[in-house]
Amino acid sequence: MSKISDNYNKAGLISIIGSSIVLLSYLFPANSPVIDTPYIWIWGLSYWKTEFYFSLKTIFSQISVVLSIIILGCVSVIIITSNKLRKGEPFKSSGAILITLAVSIIVVVIYWAIIAHVMLEYLVENRYTVEDGIEVTTRYTINFWDYNNPGFGLVGLIIGAIVILYGGIMEASSK
């Protein structure tokens, strides 16, 4: 096996591993709540307390589904391209395709994180008693990333995209 076809094989394998990480991350929530708030998957599923729910009634859920479809479309093309590389059937722009789709996945994930921050906010209301029995109420809003840490459902997408990006750069530089 020549060095060039060996690089194609490695680039294809690396890109498939990255695609597997991306697909695996769909099984995990995108957030890790710090306080008692719902877990949210990037594709729109939510879990709070003891109940799963999925609804397309909110704009955020609709955007999440559309972005997930974009990511899955990118992964499908990446898998097809990677399999051609592994079989030793590279085509002229296969490296550019892998790089472009990996960057697209990263952009979509960042866009989702920004949308989550902007659209998902909660009103926090604190009531407490001060001197002489006077009750004071404070109200403020907190945004999504104020009370959540990124979960594997979000971080895994970026890690997988970086692995795919590496495979694409490896393939592009082997010509």
- Nearest CA to 33 out of 149, 123, 112 is that of 149
This prediction has a pTM of 0.83
Nearest to 47 by CA among 57, 60, 33, 34: 33
d(CA 144, CA 113): 9
List the domain range (segments joined by +) for residue 116: 3-173
Counting DSSP H helices and E strands in the chain, the numbers are: 4, 7
CATH number at residue 9: 1.20.140.150
Q: Into how many domains does the chain fold?
A: 1
Query: pLDDT tens string for the chain (175 positions)?
Result: 455 566 668 888 999 999 999 999 999 999 988 877 788 889 888 887 778 878 778 888 889 999 999 999 999 999 999 988 888 777 778 889 999 999 999 999 999 999 988 887 765 666 777 677 777 777 777 778 888 899 999 999 999 999 999 999 988 887 6
